[in-house]
Structure 1
Amino acid sequence: MNIEKAVIEFTSNINHAGLNEQIVDERLLYLCLIAVVLINKVEANAHHELLKMLFTQTAKTGEFEDLLNNLEKIKFTKRSYYRLYLELIERLKELDTKKRKYLLNQSSHYLTLDVIEGISRTDAVVIYNHTVQRLQQMNVQDKLSDHFIYQDIPPCFGELASKLVNNGKKHKIYDPYALTGEVSIYYSINRNVELATTETLVQSSPYIIHMLYIAGVENTDCKNSFGLAQQANIEPAMADVALTLLDPTSSKEDEYLQKLDNEPMFSVADGRIIGDTVPAKFKDHAFIQHLLYSIKEGGTAIIFLGKGPLHREIEKCARAYLLENNLVDAVIELPAKLINPRTVSLYALVLKKGRISRNVKFVDGSHCYEATGRVNQLANIDEIYSLYTSEPSVAGKAISKTADEIISNDYLLIPASYLSGYEATENALNLGEIRKELIERAIENDVKLNHIFAELANN
């Protein structure tokens, strides 16, 4: 595959070009250079002459005056490309002249590298991302190994979100939990994004910025910060679309079947999280409310999350807030194993501000996948979108329920509860009691077994 050949080429050449990937500034410089090269190919070699000057004249003199003059004359299709070149020049200036010239000379063949001819934006993002992952693995014996394991978030979440939003105009997006940014990046490939704002606690913002540039975003604001900080790091109503992928939390009820009187609740100083609705042990709904804080009236928030927040008794108040304020537009069940073989079924929770209809669409998209080895790949996104927009229902696959019906069903937001004809009331309560009793029996058996093992050990 040409994508992997390009990754190996870029990964292997960093040392040949005189740089050390273990030095962060040198790694960032090299990846900035790679980003510029990839964008040129995505834009059908539109910046060929500028890159040619970089790899020839600048490589000979080590100076940037002519390059900067030509940079000002080019009408870039995206303003972000201009900023990327400026970043590259500033990083190159940090090298001494000899090292700078050597790097550019050793990288000049990128201008005509066959394996990146005709690549798409998606291809370019994957090449950049995989190169980053290999270069960051400092302690791996062979970073060029054919058996290198990538830690990828698949593009399907961003692609599905872009389909569900269906916004062809320039707009602003926000992701408060962008560990590596893939949801925003793949969303942006398919939409006209004016500004992408992300927050992450890991030191990945420079790489996210480069990938957002490759994806075609006009402007970026990528912060190394925590989305649920006591004071928000963003202004309210700053985005048209907010989206994120949350790590699925356990949906087991265990001792959480009933909310305890002394249950600690999560709160923030600026009040954007509604008081006494979010348990401290599960922060999914804190992110949900934070996303709602971030979007404008008429805006959309899409959260990919596990089953727990949609049905846990302890989060009923949080679901009540969403339903009673007419914020829930749809809940879509997705296939299992989309990220790795252990990933449970995820759900797309679609929220909208300023809704008129009080109906909520429940969609079963769990069948929309292709098995690819040990993981599943989301397929038939158009079918999921069709089910999402269908009126009023499709037997066994999509159904609309009023907010009042959902409220009377214990605020449950799981599609199967409605598509399968499941009724909460007596049956749900009985199932809960049975589950609780089984857990209690299991605990009693564990205690008895521990006593037996202790006695055997003493004998």
Structure 2
Amino acid sequence: MSRVDLLESITASPDYRTLTTHLFLLILWSPNDHDSSDEEVPESFEEEFFYRAAWLVGETSPLLANALRKKLDIYKLEAGSLAAHHEYFRAIAHGLAKDDSVRPMLLEMLLQSLEADGSYEGTRPCPEELIQVIAGISQQSGGRSYYDPLSANGRLLAELVSNSSSSAWGLGQSSADEDILHGLLRAFFQHDSLTFEKADALKSPPNDGVGLQSFDVVVSDLSESADVWATELGAGDPFGRFKYGIAPKGKGEWPLIQHMLACMRKDQGVAIAVVDLAALLRAGKEAEIRRAIMQNNLLDAVVYLPAKLYRSDARSLAILVFKSSRQSSSVLLIDASKQYTSEKSLNTLTAEGIQQIQKHYSRREPVEGNAVLLSIADLEATGFALNPGRYFSARADEGLHDLDALSREHEYLKLELWQVGGQIDELLSRLAEKVAP
């Protein structure tokens, strides 16, 4: 039985969502983990089997085993006996016994199914197309150590590590129980190459007791991180991570980006962050932080993405690429905001759009309407603005017939006007302070 057939047999049961812990353990469990006297497929799948399976998981991953045991206890209290599901578990076990190699991919397929159907209680999963873009950029760095300070369900980090060299490894951090569980499940079959910690990255960064741990590639989707920042963390930070400025309370993108910059290797380190486009447009302290980072020649590229890449989220996003040791002082801007297909309330980056992003990033050349290369002098002349509407506009051949393009351009202009208005307000405030008696 193929892994697709197995997944269909698993999800055919109306109870499969309430039995996910048992299904995880059934997939993680293998006859090879048992004594030679044990049968290949057990006759009974009562509570004892699953607690035994959790104990065996604990030999590889104690944290994962503890999390699974807690969920087994909860199911036992809420639902009681497993007798009604005995044949269901047995059919799945027989399917797995026919081909033991399908277990890792079956687990991944089940996790993706659970994360996509709206029942997942953790952080929203990063879209596959966005993962492909990030992977293509990170692979050009040739790194082998990866770190994700907001690893969510672990899929982004797991795919980057698994598609890198055989010696690659990664560390993920998250403060959400469900995210850590899924991250640990993804790490189980990769043994020592992936580690996930339940931790707030800003409060408990990876360190050796003296300094921060550094990585070849630091990567994260920060598009849901706007409310995680408390300013008091910045003033007394023992690692000096926020040297470019302290962002206002609740605006978490630039504190997390500064954390990522501090954790990338000083030589050939790369940081890749997905952010809400508004993080590139807001005035005040955040504008000062952006300016300082660019003046220190850390920003390498910006990729402007379509809106609605996440369901029920109409915001436009952008990918920021930073490098610790750059050969050039220019910044590459890539417009991929029109490279999508639309279905109801969700937009998806096209395969052609993904290829174009990779090509533009690799070649690093200006392409009319698609890519702009700006020197530090160019950026300084625009006040270090990263407004896409300043550098890209609707294509000429779209004319007045593409209402979506016109609407996007209108939004860009409104955001740019908002930013300029904020800068004027701040200048007037400073002037008032100087002339006050």
Taking structure 1 as the reference length, the TM-score comes to 0.65
| Aligned with 1:240 (options 207, 211, 216) | 216
**How far apart in 2 are the matches of 1:433 and 1:137?**
40
Mapped contact 1:363–1:398 kept (Cα < 8 A): yes
1:384-403 equivalence runs, <5 A: 384-403=357-376
1:91-102 equivalence runs, <5 A: none
1:239 is paired with a residue whose SS is coil
How far does the alpha carbon of each residue in 1:58-78 deviate from its partner, in whole angstroms, 9 at most, with x for none?
7369999xx99xx9xxxxxxx
- 1:174 maps to which residue? 147
**How far apart in 1 are the matches of 2:175 and 2:375?**
39
- 2:258 maps to which residue? 289
1:227 equivalent in alignment to 2:196: no
1:31 equivalent in alignment to 2:24: yes
1:357 is paired with a residue whose SS is coil
1:359 equivalent in alignment to 2:330: yes
1:25-174 equivalence runs, <5 A: 28=21, 30-35=23-28, 56-57=39-40, 59=42, 83=60, 106-107=89-90, 109-112=92-95, 124-131=107-114, 152-167=125-140, 171-174=144-147
1:377 equivalent in alignment to 2:348: yes
1:310-389 equivalence runs, <5 A: 310-314=280-284, 315-379=286-350, 380=352, 381-389=354-362
**How far apart in 1 are the matches of 2:342 and 2:28?**
32
Gaps of 5+ in 1: 22-26, 38-47, 72-79, 139-149, 251-262, 423-427, 438-459
**How far apart in 2 are the matches of 1:247 and 1:104?**
43
Mapped contact 1:202–1:224 kept (Cα < 8 A): yes
Q: CA, structure 1 residues 233+409, in 2 after alignment: closer, same or farther (shift >3 Å)?
A: same
Mapped contact 2:126–2:221 kept (Cα < 8 A): no
| Aligned with 1:269 (options 229, 234, 237) | 237
Structure 1 residue 348: Cα displacement: 0.3
- 1:279 maps to which residue? 248
Mapped contact 1:7–1:130 kept (Cα < 8 A): no
Q: CA, structure 1 residues 336+51, in 2 after alignment: closer, same or farther (shift >3 Å)?
A: farther
2:39 is paired with a residue whose SS is helix
Q: CA, structure 1 residues 430+370, in 2 after alignment: closer, same or farther (shift >3 Å)?
A: closer
1:83 is paired with a residue whose SS is coil
How far does the alpha carbon of each residue in 1:278-324 deviate from its partner, in whole angstroms, 9 at most, with x for none?
22231210000000111112111110001222121121211122111
**How far apart in 2 are the matches of 1:373 and 1:305?**
23
- 1:10 maps to which residue? 10
RMSD: 5.0
Mapped contact 1:194–1:218 kept (Cα < 8 A): no
Q: CA, structure 1 residues 103+56, in 2 after alignment: closer, same or farther (shift >3 Å)?
A: farther
1:309 equivalent in alignment to 2:279: yes
Q: CA, structure 1 residues 268+414, in 2 after alignment: closer, same or farther (shift >3 Å)?
A: farther
2:268 is paired with a residue whose SS is strand
Taking structure 2 as the reference length, the TM-score comes to 0.68
**How far apart in 2 are the matches of 1:4 and 1:436?**
58
Structure 1 residue 112: Cα displacement: 2.6
**How far apart in 1 are the matches of 2:98 and 2:124?**
23
Structure 1 residue 396: Cα displacement: 0.8
Q: Give the number of the structure whose alpha-carbon radius of gyration is greater.
A: 1
**How far apart in 1 are the matches of 2:250 and 2:61?**
41
Structure 1 residue 81: Cα displacement: 13
Mapped contact 2:9–2:92 kept (Cα < 8 A): no
Identical-pair percentage: 18
- 1:404 maps to which residue? 377
**How far apart in 1 are the matches of 2:168 and 2:222?**
24
Q: CA, structure 1 residues 385+114, in 2 after alignment: closer, same or farther (shift >3 Å)?
A: farther
- 2:169 maps to which residue? 195
Q: CA, structure 1 residues 11+81, in 2 after alignment: closer, same or farther (shift >3 Å)?
A: farther
Mapped contact 1:159–1:187 kept (Cα < 8 A): no
Structure 1 residue 201: Cα displacement: 1.4
Mapped contact 2:274–2:320 kept (Cα < 8 A): yes
Once structures 1 and 2 are overlaid, which stretch shifts more, 159-168 or 338-347?
A: 159-168
Q: CA, structure 1 residues 85+225, in 2 after alignment: closer, same or farther (shift >3 Å)?
A: closer
1:242 is paired with a residue whose SS is strand
Structure 1 residue 391: Cα displacement: 4.1
Q: CA, structure 1 residues 432+109, in 2 after alignment: closer, same or farther (shift >3 Å)?
A: closer
Q: CA, structure 1 residues 237+264, in 2 after alignment: closer, same or farther (shift >3 Å)?
A: closer
Structure 1 residue 368: Cα displacement: 1.7
How far does the alpha carbon of each residue in 1:122-151 deviate from its partner, in whole angstroms, 9 at most, with x for none?
77523224347889779xxxxxxxxxxx96
**How far apart in 2 are the matches of 1:307 and 1:54?**
60
1:173 is paired with a residue whose SS is strand
**How far apart in 1 are the matches of 2:62 and 2:232?**
49
